Amino acid sequence: MSEVDQSELKKAVELQHGGTATFLQSVPVKEMQDGQTVWDGAVAVFELAGHPLATRAYAWSYELENGKRRFIAVLHFGPVASPADAVRAAIVAEHRSKL
């Protein structure tokens, strides 16, 4: 899996949620389900200024089968209180969208 520059993730946060994102750190996250790895990668953590609900956001990307890249940006809000929570929330949302 090829990594993307944090500036691309910053742009994804700002486009998807508004506000101004400032990179804080990158955190490794490995999410397992039924003994299978469903996500293993780095999640960028951003401070988020100017957003009405959240002061932090999490972002990452992955390559699709067609070679294009999908960017995910999740707000630190409600049940999402960590990079791992953000990954789990995104997995659940993607699964529900396929039902």
**Percentage of the chain lying above the pLDDT 70 cut:** 97
Work out the average pLDDT over 1-7. 76
Cβ neighbours of residue 92 under 8 Å, at least 6 residues apart? none
Selected residue with higher pLDDT from 96 and 32: 32
What's the pLDDT tens digit per position in 15-33? 999 999 999 999 999 999 8
pLDDT band at 1 (very low <50, low <70, confident <90, very high): very low
Beta-carbon count within 10 A of 56 CB: 21
Smallest Cα–Cα separation from 90: which of 57, 49, 65?
Answer: 57
